[in-house]
């Protein structure tokens, strides 16, 4: 899953980015309301973590813009304010939850899972099924022919994106953007290394396989070679 952080406190943004990255989320970070708003409108995110006090304008304006544009992405506000009126204003603007700084990492992950679960309760893609390969995106479990497949957070994120794009060729650059982050060096062989380990775990367990499209990327397919 992909999360957008809109936070001008660099130390807090790095802490949240690291916490979610270690949990298997792909994370993008922006540091102003306008930059965050543009990113949220340009890309599909599973959740947005938003500071209220941003250098250019209030984070509430970002929430209002997203809702006005019909974007139902879950928004969690992170702020040092604990005034009831501020909480009411945030929720009335369209935010889904409120987190007080300093944010406890475990509470952050739990509240994020809950917000995504509530926001995606009617979305069919929370359960991905390709042949005998099944993934629950919220419970973060994978079954191959009914058997548990143990994956690292990055392997899970990579398989998730390949399943969402099943039978389509996904470029290395796209995987870097969705599984790591937009700043990752595209010359790295990290994608190929993770694909090799993922193939090894899926081989003999489930029918869908990851094939290489030479010079382009990878495709998760059920088709015979």
Shared domain check, 198 and 169: yes
Three-class SS state of 5? strand
Burial level of 52, CB count in 10 A (0-12/13-18/19+)?
A: buried
Q: For 117-148, write each residue's pLDDT tens digit.
A: 776 544 545 788 999 999 988 778 899 999 99
Read off the pLDDT band of 168 (50, 70, 90): very high
Domain termination residue (choose one: 68, 97, 119): 119
If one counts every other C-beta atom within 10 angstroms of the C-beta of residue 186, the result is: 10
Q: ∠ at Cα 33 (137, 87), nearest 5°?
A: 75
Least confident of 5-9, 57-61, 65-69, 89-93: 89-93
Paired tokens of 54: 């941003």
Q: What is the pLDDT of residue 181?
A: 64
Shared domain check, 150 and 102: no
CA 105 to CA 52: how far, in whole Å? 19
- Kindly tell me if the per-residue pLDDT of 82 is higher than 90: no
Shared domain check, 181 and 202: yes
DSSP run (H or E) holding 195: helix 190-202
If one counts every other C-beta atom within 10 angstroms of the C-beta of residue 129, the result is: 13
Q: Is 131 left (phi over 0), alpha (psi -120 to 50) or beta?
A: left
79: domain range? 2-119
Shared domain check, 113 and 130: no
Shared domain check, 107 and 22: yes
Read off the pLDDT band of 10 (50, 70, 90): very high
Shared domain check, 98 and 43: yes
Domain count, the chain: 2
Q: What is the pLDDT of residue 187?
A: 64
Cβ contacts of 88 within 8 Å, gap of 6 or more: none
Integer angstrom CA distances of residue 163 from 12, 59, 116, 192, 201: 32, 34, 19, 17, 15
Three-class SS state of 151? coil
Whether 182 and 170 have beta carbons less than 8 Å apart is answered as no
Helix ranges (H only) for 45-189 are 59-68, 84-93, 105-119, 153-164, 172-175
């Amino acid at each position: 899953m992909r999360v957008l952080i809109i936070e001008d406190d660099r130390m807090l943004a790095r802490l949240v980015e690291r916490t979610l990255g270690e949990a298997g989320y792909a994370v993008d970070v922006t540091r102003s309301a306008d930059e965050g708003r543009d990113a949220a409108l340009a890309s599909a995110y599973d959740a947005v973590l938003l500071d209220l006090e941003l250098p250019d304008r209030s984070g509430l304006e970002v929430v209002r813009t997203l809702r006005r544009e019909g974007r139902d992405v879950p928004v969690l506000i992170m702020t040092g304010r604990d005034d009831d009126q501020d909480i009411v204003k945030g929720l009335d603007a369209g935010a889904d939850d409120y987190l007080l700084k300093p944010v406890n990492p475990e509470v952050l992950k739990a509240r994020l899972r809950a917000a995504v679960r509530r926001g995606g309760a009617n979305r069919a893609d929370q359960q991905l099924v390709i042949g005998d390969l099944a993934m629950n995106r919220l419970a973060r479990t994978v079954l191959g022919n009914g058997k548990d497949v143990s994956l690292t957070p990055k392997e899970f994120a990579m398989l998730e994106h390949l399943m969402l794009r099943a039978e389509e060729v996904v470029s290395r650059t796209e995987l870097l953007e969705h599984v790591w982050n937009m700043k990752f060096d595209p010359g790295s062989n990290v994608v190929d290394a993770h694909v090799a380990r993922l193939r090894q775990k899926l081989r003999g367990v489930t029918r869908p396989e990851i094939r290489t499209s030479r010079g382009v990327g990878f495709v998760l397919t059920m088709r015979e070679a």
